[in-house]
Amino acid sequence: MKRIAGFALNYYKIILLFAILSVSSSVTQDPLQNIKNMIMIQAPFVMIYSFGMTLAVITGGLDLSLGSVAAFSTCAAAFLIIKDQIFLGIAVCLLIGAGLGLLNGLLITKAKVNPFIATYGMDWVIRGAVYIMMSGAMIYHFSNDFKIIADGSFLGISNLVYISVAILLILMFVFQKTVFGRNVYSTGANTKVSRLTGVNTDLLIIIVYMISGVLASTSGLLYVARLDCAEAFLGKNFGLQALAATLIGGTSLQGGKGGVGNTVIGVLIMVFLMNCLNVLKVSTLWQDAVFGLVIVVSALLEMAKQRYANYLQL
């Protein structure tokens, strides 16, 4: 009995995932296409910017400016891409993402502003800047060479999957297997100890926010490529959605725990659940309430899991 409970606690998210999937599959006529939609198209977008949030959360902070960073960088880049300077445009987009991340990081480490309010303030500033920059314009009808990034597929699998899996693998490698990643975790768990062990914690945190910015602009770029339009209000709900996915995935706000792997599960739960509600024909009005419940329940289960793990170790 105890063993079953332990198993359930350790793998409850996977169990939940399959439960949701089987419900939604049983009511749809084309479950395969449905799963394909979710995994190949819907999840990758959310995943990439959620990774950014996850990394920020691992350092013990959070990044509420993801959406506006995505909007600003893609809108700026779109001016170039529309003139068919695709590579330059992409480079500019990612650079702007990194630059805005740098600003966040500097505010947090050097000016010592709490990450919550720092990234929230930055969100306003950047969003304002992109509105001013676009002043009501939209940029659309990009060339196919650019759109193929998000639209194309290889061996029947969407490019989005390749891109997001590649990003996932790189991030997993960097954050699980390298000295840099290890130090990020240590810094998140206890910044002071890490600094007293000779880690340049400020630099690490800045780099993480830069990566987070780059991830935000990457996902923004993919949206632009997929939907063929760059506009100023892209990503208004990125921040809160990414936070929800990260929390459902089980990355703790205390920092130093969890990881992008968890967030994959968190994103899948979110996407599957949203889809499940849709195919079950549940009114959209219920969505918010259901999400709130899922976050509470997963946080409580996560806590139970921690207690159980501690209990086992004693």
Partner 1 sequence: MKKNNYSRYREITGLLAGVLVLFIFMSFAAEGFFGWYNLHNVLKDLLILMVVASGMTLVILLGKIDMSAGSVMSLASIVTTLLLSYGFNIVFALLAGLLAGAIIGFLNGYLVGVLNLNHFVATFATMSIAKGLALVACNGDIISSDSDVLLFIGTGKIFGLFFIVWFAAILLIIMFFLSTKTKFGYKIYSIGGSEQVARLSGIKTSNVYLLTYVIAGVLAAVGGIFMSGKANSGNATIGDGYEFSVIATVLIGGTPFEGGKGGLLGTLIGAMFLAILKNGLSMLGFTPAWQYALIGLAILIAIVADVSINERRKAEEKRRIKL
Partner 2 sequence: MDETILEIRNISKSFSGVPVLEDINMCIKKGEVHVIVGENGAGKSTLMKIISGVYKKDKGELFFEGAPVQINSVQKALSVGISIIHQEFNLLPHRTIGQNIFLGREPIKSHFLKTIDYEHICKRSKELLEYLGLDLDPRTLVYNLGIAQQQMVEVAKALCFESKVLIMDEPTATLTRKETAKLFEIIKKLRSEGVSIIYISHRLEEIKQIADTLTVLRDGKVVGSLSIEDASIDQIIRMMVGREIKDQYERHYHTHGEEVLRTENLGAKRFSEVNINLRRGEIVGLSGLVGAGRTEIAKTIFGEDAIEKGSVYVYGKKYNKMNTQRATRLRIGLVPEDRKEEGAIVEMSIRHNIIHAVLPRLFKSSVISKKIELSVASKYKEELNIKAPSVNKLVKLLSGGNQQKVVIAKWMCADCEILIFDEPTRGIDVGAKAEIYAIMSQLVGKGKAILMISSDLPELIGMCDRIYTLKDGKVTAEFSRTEATQEKILAACV
Partner 3 sequence: MKKAFTVFLVVLFSISVFSVSAAPYPGAVGKKATLILKDLTNPVWIQAAEGAKAAAKDFGMQIEVVAPIVSNNNDEQIQLVQQAIAKRKDIMILTPADSKGIVPAVTELNKAKIPVINLNTKINNESGRANSETFVVADNITCATLCATELARLANGSGEAIILQGPSGGQVTIDLTKGAEDTFAKYPGIKLVDKKEAKFDRATGYKVTQDMLITYPNLKIIFSCNDEMALGAVKAVEEVGKLGKIFIGGIDGNKDAMASIKEGKLNTTVFKNFWLQAYTAVEAAAKFLDGQKLPALIPVDLGIVTKENVEKYLAM
Would you tell me which residues interact with partner 3 (CB under 8 A)? 28-30, 33-34, 37, 41-42, 45, 131, 135-138, 140-141, 223, 226-229, 231-234, 236-237, 274-275, 278-279, 281, 283-285, 287
Residue 233 binding target from partner 2, partner 3, partner 1, none, CB below 5 to 8 Å by type:
partner 3
195 binds partner 2 (CB under 8 A): yes
Residue 47 binding target from partner 1, partner 3, partner 2, none, CB below 5 to 8 Å by type:
none
Q: Which residue has the tokens 């002043």?
A: 135
296 binds partner 1 (CB under 8 A): yes
10 binds partner 2 (CB under 8 A): no
| C-alpha pair distances (Å), 289 with each of 2, 16, 243, 293 | 32, 18, 16, 6
Please give the full DSSP string across 60-108, using - where no structure is assigned.
T---TTHHHHHHHHHHHHHHHHTTT-HHHHHHHHHHHHHHHHHHHHHHH
Cα gap 165→276, rounded to integer Å: 24
Q: Which of 13, 127, 226, 257 binds partner 2 (CB under 8 A)?
A: 257
Q: Which residues pair with 229 in a beta bridge?
A: 140
Return the structure tokens found at 104.
């966040």
Residue 20 binding target from partner 3, partner 2, partner 1, none, CB below 5 to 8 Å by type:
none
Cα gap 153→65, rounded to integer Å: 31
Q: Which amino acid is at 23?
A: V
Applying CB under 8 A, which residues contact partner 2? 177-180, 182-183, 185-186, 189-190, 192-200, 254, 256-257, 310, 313-314
Applying CB under 8 A, which residues contact partner 1? 107, 111-114, 116-118, 120-129, 131-132, 135, 243-244, 247, 252-254, 283, 285-293, 295-296, 299-300, 303
